[in-house]
Structure 1
Amino acid sequence: MTGTEASKSGWHVAEADLRAYARGELAPPLLWSADTHVGSCADCRSRLAAVSDPVALDDGWERLDAELDAPRPGPGERLLVRLGVAEHTARLLTATPVLRRSWLLSVALLLATTVAVVRAVDAPALFLALAPLLPLGAVALSYGPVLDPTYEIAAVAPTHGFRLLMIRTVAALTASLCLNSLAALALPGYGLLAFGWLLPALALTAAGLALSARLGPLAGPGLVGGAWTLLMAVAALHPAHTPAAFTTAGQSVAAALAALATFLLHRARDRFDTQPY
C-alpha cells in the first residue's frame, strides 16, 4: 500500500513510530513505510513537526544540506586520502589549477612542438631555454587571488599560507618536471645536456617564490622569468656556443642560486600568512 493510498484509507503513522522516526531510531521496514507515508500525508507531517525537537530537526537539515553541497572527491583525491594525506590537504592539492587537464595538455603540446623543432633544426638551446620557464609559470599560477579560481576556498582552509604555498608548489613542480623529463627523453641524441634545464628550473622557481613574498605572486615570478628570457636572448646571439647557464660553471651557479633562494624563501615564510595578495 502506497503512502497516498494509505492516506485515503485513513491509515496514519502511529504516534510512537512518529517519535522514533523523528529521533532517527525507526528501523526498516517501518522506516520505509513511514518515510513514504509522511511524504504524501500533510496530517502526519504536522504531527511529525509537533513531536520533533526543533534544534535536532534544524541540525539534521543542515547536515543534509552540507552533504548534498559537498563536492564529490575525484580519483586523485581519493588516492591521496588512502595514502594517508589529510582530506583537506588532498582537496587543496588536487584543486591546484595547473593540474587540470587543459593545462597539462597545453603544456604537453607545447613541449612536443618544441621537441619536434629541436630535432628538425638541431637547436637544443631552444628547449633548454623554454623548459625552466614552465615550472616557474606553473607555480605562479597555483596561488593568489588573480590566477587561482579556488583562492577563496584555500584562504579559509585550516592551512597556513606558507604551507599551502608549499603544497601547491610541490604539486605544480611534480607535474611540470615530469612533463619536461619526458620531453628530454625524446631528445636522446643530446645526452645529459637535454636535462641541463633542471637546476635552472629549480633556481628560477625558488627565486620567483622568494621575490613573491615581497612583490606578489605575479610580479615576483614575472621578474625572474623576464631576466631568464633576456639571458637566453643574449645567449642566442652566439648560437655556436652552449649557453653559459648549461655549462658546468653555469649549473653550479644555478644550484647555488636555488639554495640561496630557498633559504630566503624560508626566512620570509611568515609573509605568506599575513600579506593579502
Structure 2
Amino acid sequence: MTWHVAEDDLRAYVRGELAQPMLWSADTHLVACARCRAQLAEVSDPVALDAGWERLDAELDVPRPGFMESLLMRAGVADHTARLLAATPVLRRSWLAAVVAVLVMTVIATDSVRTSDSPALFLALAPLLPLAGVALSYGPVLDPTYEMAVVSPMHGFRLLMIRTVPVLAVALVLNGLATLALPSYGLRALAWLLPALALTATGLALTPRLGPVLAPGLVGGTWVALLVVAHGTSHGTLAPYTAAGQGIAAAVAALAAGLFYLGRDRFDLSPANTPFAGFTDGGKA
C-alpha cells in the first residue's frame, strides 16, 4: 500500500478524537493493513481501543433522521421529541394530503350548493378533523411507536401532549385556510372553531376512561347525532352555530380542558401491561 495512517491520526483514533471523514478512511484502511494495525496496537491501550470500536458501532447503528425529523431538529426541537413527532402518523404527507383533499371537496360542494346563510356542510365536517387527527396520533391502532411508549419512562400525559399540540395546530391551520376559501359567508364560516375545540378537548378528557379509540369515536358520533337532530328541528341556522350554541361550545371546551388537565396522571402507561393494554385506571385501547 502507498498510503498508511499517520501515527498522530492513530493516537487520535485511540482517544476517539479522529474526526470524519478521516475516521472512516482509517477504519477501512485498518481492516486491510496489518502494518497499521500493528502500529495501532503499539500506541493504544487495549481497553481504550475496544471502547473506540464500541463507539464506532454505536454511531453506525444509529438510524438516520428523516426529512421531517431533521427539519424539526434544525428548528431547535430536541432530538427525542423530534423523533416522536416525526413518527406521528397524521403528520405524514399521506394524511395531510387526504385532509386537504377532503377540505377542498367540501369547500367546492359548499360553494356550489348554497342553501343557507351559513356553510352547513363545511361547519359540520371541520370540527371532526382535529378530533380525528388527535385520535389517530396516539394509540395502538396506527402509532408505530406505541409499543415503545408503553415501556418508556416518559410521562404518558407529556407524550400525549407532544403528539396532540402539533396535530391540533396543523388541523386548525388547514381548517383556517379552507375558511378563507369561503369569503362570501364572512365570519359565519368560522363557527367551526369552538365546536372543534370542544370536541377535541372532550375526546382527550374521556380518553383515560374509554381509551384512545373509543373516546373520540363516541364524541364524534355524538356530534353527528346532534347535527342530525338540529337539522330536523331547525328551519334556520343549526343550533350549534347560533350564539347560544357557540357559548355552550366554549363552555364545554373550557370544562373539558380543565378535566383533561386534572386527570393528567391517569395517562401514565403501565409497563406491566401488554403493549396494547391502553391506559391505566380502567382505560382500555
TM-score range, shorter chain: 0.7 to 0.9
Corresponding position of 2:107: 115
Corresponding position of 1:93: 85
Corresponding position of 2:58: 66
Identical-residue share of aligned pairs (%): 67
- Look at both structures and tell me which one has the larger radius of gyration over its CA atoms: 1
Matching of residue 255 in structure 1 with residue 247 in structure 2? no
- Residue 127 of structure 2 contacts residue 196 of structure 2 at CA under 8 Å; is this kept in 1? yes
Give the aligned residue type for 1:237.
G
Provide TM-score, normalisation by structure 1. Answer: 0.83
Residues matched between the structures, number: 268
Q: What CA RMSD, in Å, does the superposition of the two structures yield over aligned residues?
A: 3.2
Q: Higher relative CO (CA 8 A, sep ≥ 6), structure 1 or 2?
A: 2
SS in 2 for 1:237: helix
Corresponding position of 1:178: 173
**Cα deviations across residues 76-104 of structure 1 (Å, max 9, x unaligned)?**
54454454432222332233221111100
Q: Counterparts of 1:118 and 1:246 in 2: how far apart (Å)?
A: 16
**Cα deviations across residues 173-231 of structure 1 (Å, max 9, x unaligned)?**
11101111111111111111111110000000000011011111001111101101111
Moved more, 95-104 or 157-166: 157-166
Corresponding position of 2:135: 140
User: Structure 1 residues 58, 235: closer, same or farther in 2, change over 3 A?
Assistant: farther
SS in 2 for 1:71: coil
User: Structure 1 residues 14, 235: closer, same or farther in 2, change over 3 A?
Assistant: closer
Structure 2 unmatched runs, 5+: 271-276, 279-285
- Residue 87 of structure 2 contacts residue 143 of structure 2 at CA under 8 Å; is this kept in 1? no
Q: Counterparts of 1:119 and 1:162 in 2: how far apart (Å)?
A: 41
Moved more, 204-213 or 61-70: 61-70
Corresponding position of 1:2: 2
Matching of residue 40 in structure 1 with residue 32 in structure 2? yes
- Residue 15 of structure 2 contacts residue 52 of structure 2 at CA under 8 Å; is this kept in 1? no
Give the aligned residue type for 1:204.
L
Q: Counterparts of 2:110 and 2:233 in 1: how far apart (Å)?
A: 17
Q: Counterparts of 2:257 and 2:150 in 1: how far apart (Å)?
A: 23
Provide TM-score, normalisation by structure 2. Answer: 0.80
1:162 to 154, 157, 166: 157
SS in 2 for 1:231: helix
SS in 2 for 1:270: helix
Q: Counterparts of 1:104 and 1:33 in 2: how far apart (Å)?
A: 42
Matching of residue 217 in structure 1 with residue 212 in structure 2? yes
**TM-fit CA distance, 1:47:** 6.8
Corresponding position of 2:98: 106
Corresponding position of 1:9: none
User: Structure 1 residues 183, 68: closer, same or farther in 2, change over 3 A?
Assistant: same
